[in-house]
Amino acid sequence: MSERWSVIGAVGLVATAALPLLLKDAFLYHLGILICIQAILGVSLHLMLRIRQLSLAQAGFMGIGAYTSALLSRDLGFAFPVALLAAIIVPAVIAGLVGSIILRIKGVYFVLLTFALGESIRLVFVEWIVPFGGNNGLTSIPGIAVFGLALKARSAVYIAALVALGGSLLAAYLLLSRDQGRVLSGIAHNEMLLQSLGTDVTAYRRVTFAVSAAIAGFAGSLYAHYLGYISPPAFNVTASVGALVFNVVGGAGFLLGPVAGALLLVPLPELFRDAAIYQSLFYGVALLLLMLFLPRGLIGLLVGRKP
Amino acid sequence: MTASFLELQNVSKRFGGIRAVHDVSLTIPKGEITSLIGPNGAGKTTLFNLIAGQIRPSAGTIRFEGDRIDRRSLDAIARRGIMRSFQNTMILPGLTVQEHIETAALLATIGRPIDLLWRRNITRAKLAAVDTTETVLDFTGLASQRGTVAETLSYGLQKILGIGMAMAAKPRLLLSDEPAAGLNGAETERMEELLRAVHASGVSIILVEHDLRLVMRLSRHVVVLGQGELLLEGTPDQVRHDPRFIDIYLGGEADAA
């Protein structure tokens, strides 16, 4: 039953992913790339949700990745791969350091702390005009290049974004499976028991937080180099809430949940430009309805009743 | 009796203005079952939590095999070999009895994320964990329920599983908080046998238990606490005939056994 559905799901995903390549439409490519980037942000939050800690700092980490990568390549002349690597490492290190303190706090207080952290990160981008450019942000960020070859064609960037999404999913999967996955699921369900059996729960949380920030930073780098322009509002708490909505809509219990959520929700404001101002309202209502009627999300609906 | 297996020196714990434990000095011998008894509010559970590292003493030191552990975290103390099984049972949802024991055996090897880097250690530990799991399943008498989802076990069997999980992590000192509370006669007997078997396998035990008959049958060393202070200690016979013990349990205090 679940095996058949995973085959159908995989075929559906591949078909959806291939759609822009078949239709060769510039707007579809653009949408596809944005979906991949937002889905990666969704995957980064997904890791935190798996240890039952809602972080609203994810978009902030994405911003750190975006600005790190943009400044390194544009102002300091580093090659894209180096900038990308830095965009992964810097947010991970920051999350690891901050995590040592804030990960001891749980529940709604952790949410509030990460809310404050996310806003602080955004304010740094706004207030420190040198080097972050303030409200105007940064422009003329060089494009994505692989082995010194600039990806000019949208199709090539799209394929790169798909590969990046695949890589992020793989990284998340590795963290959530096998031995470490058992530990993380134990932390989510019965932290006290694991501690009594000798598990350093805070250290495992810190690793998860760092990996999730790394993935968010990765998304940020792709975002910066794809659009060529970044500004602080893209990394505000609303963007983190967006990542939460992807997870809830798609199914927070499944690794592919945030991907399904992003696939459904990212095109909406792009398709209905005028409705963009109602996005927060829409997210709020969608979140309420889903929690009431579809607590396991779209993938939960596909997979069936069994938890 | 090796000296300084577990040694408490002038340990005190206050919660606000309340003296939960006051100036307790105590040596817990290796290879014995030691029981902490006393009326409600005597500080048994506080002392227990202090040893396990769940709370930190306001004053005094706790040493395990010579090393200070009173400033260490719960999980660091567990990695040193002091495991606790809880008054309330602790279960992971959806996992079977066997998976619980396997998980406990595995966690002993990967307590810290950095341990994940030594794959060879983990592979070796997993091979060993298969044997450990079988041993613990036999040991606890849970072999026939190995495939049962642990949440569906009876309360008594969940408590036995709790001890089994602690054993799978290979402790040197087991802290057992009210193992017999809420159990019926047959279950209490089974628990008693299990604790004897744990002890026979070379693990020292500290027991907090209200059932005085069980305490007197099981332990060689009994520690009596009252209002946070150490009142007396000794063999069950010494304690039973001490006027102070009789005073606590038969004169005045209502919740005697």
Q: What is the pLDDT of residues A226-245, one digit of tens each?
A: 999 999 999 999 899 999 99
* Contact yes or no for A55/A215 (Cβ under 8 A): no
Instruction: Round the average pLDDT of chain B to a whole number and report it.
Output: 86
Are B76 and A193 an interchain contact pair (Cβ–Cβ within 8 Å)? no
Provide the 3-class DSSP secondary structure of residue B166: helix
Instruction: Round the average pLDDT of chain A to a whole number and report it.
Output: 89
Q: Is the pLDDT of residue A116 over 70?
A: yes
pLDDT of residue A275: 67
CA gap B11, B9 in Å, rounded: 5
Q: Check residues B147 and A48 and name the one with the higher pLDDT.
A: A48
Residue B88 banded pLDDT, cuts 50, 70, 90: low
| Per-range mean pLDDT, top range of A1-15, A265-279, B65-79 | B65-79
CA gap B200, B207 in Å, rounded: 15
**Residue B112 contacts A, CB cutoff 8 Å:** yes
Single-letter code of the amino acid located at A171: A
Mutant choice from B72, B83, B87, B103 vs A, greatest count of A C-beta within 10 A: B103
ipTM score of complex: 0.83
Closest partner CB to B111 (pick from A185, A199, A207) = A199
CA gap A230, A131 in Å, rounded: 13
The dihedrals phi and psi of A35, each to the nearest 5 degrees, come to -60, -45
Of A109-118, A273-282, B92-101, B210-219, the range with the lowest mean pLDDT is: A273-282
Name the residue of chain A whose CA is nearest to B105's CA: A197
pLDDT of residue A166: 94
Q: Is the pLDDT of residue A19 over 50?
A: yes
Q: What is the mean pLDDT of residues A289-293?
A: 78
Closest CA to B113 of A284, A9, A181: A181
Instruction: Tell me the chain A residues in contact with residue B92 when contact means C-beta distances shorter than 8 Å.
Output: 185-186, 189-190, 193
Residue B254 banded pLDDT, cuts 50, 70, 90: very low
Q: What is the mean pLDDT of residues B50-75?
A: 91
pLDDT of residue A276: 67
**Residue B101 contacts A, CB cutoff 8 Å:** no
Residue A305 banded pLDDT, cuts 50, 70, 90: low
Query: Mind telling me how many Å the CA of B74 is from chain A's nearest CA?
Result: 6
Q: Check residues A3 and B44 and name the one with the higher pLDDT.
A: B44
Provide the 3-class DSSP secondary structure of residue A306: coil
Closest CA to A103 of A247, A201, A216: A201
pLDDT of residue B78: 92
Percent of chain A scoring above 90 in pLDDT: 55
Q: Is the pLDDT of residue A61 over 90?
A: yes
pLDDT of residue A229: 94
C-alpha A125, offset from chain centre: 19
Q: Which two tokens stand for residue A125?
A: 């981008």
CA gap A9, A31 in Å, rounded: 21
| Per-range mean pLDDT, top range of A9-18, A55-64, B72-81, B223-232 | A55-64
Query: Mind telling me how many Å the CA of B249 is from chain A's nearest CA?
Result: 32
Three-point CA angle B152, B153, B158, nearest 5° = 125
Three-point CA angle A268, A274, A277, nearest 5° = 80
Mutant choice from A184, A191, A196 vs B, greatest count of B C-beta within 10 A: A196
Residue B34 banded pLDDT, cuts 50, 70, 90: very high
Q: Is the pLDDT of residue B232 over 80?
A: yes
pLDDT of residue B251: 61
Name the residue of chain A whose CA is nearest to B77's CA: A198
- Taking only residues 45 to 84 of chain B, the set having a beta carbon closer than 8 angstroms to any beta carbon of chain A reads 52, 73-76, 78-79, 83-84
Are B83 and A196 an interchain contact pair (Cβ–Cβ within 8 Å)? yes
- How deeply is B126 buried, as exposed, middle or buried, from its count of CB atoms within 10 A (0-12, 13-18, 19+)? middle
pLDDT of residue B86: 66
Are A197 and B104 an interchain contact pair (Cβ–Cβ within 8 Å)? yes
pLDDT of residue B124: 83
pLDDT of residue B257: 41
Q: Is the pLDDT of residue B83 over 80?
A: yes
CA distances to A17, A104, A171, A214, A265 from A43, rounded to whole Å, are 17, 23, 10, 11, 15
Q: Which residues lie closer than 8 Å to B79 by C-beta, 6 or more apart?
A: A198, B108, B111
CA gap A62, B150 in Å, rounded: 41
B102-134 residue pLDDT tens: 888 888 888 888 888 887 888 888 888 888 888
B195-208 residue pLDDT tens: 999 999 999 999 99
pLDDT of residue A269: 74
Percent of chain B scoring above 90 in pLDDT: 28
Q: What is the mean pLDDT of residues A72-77?
A: 92
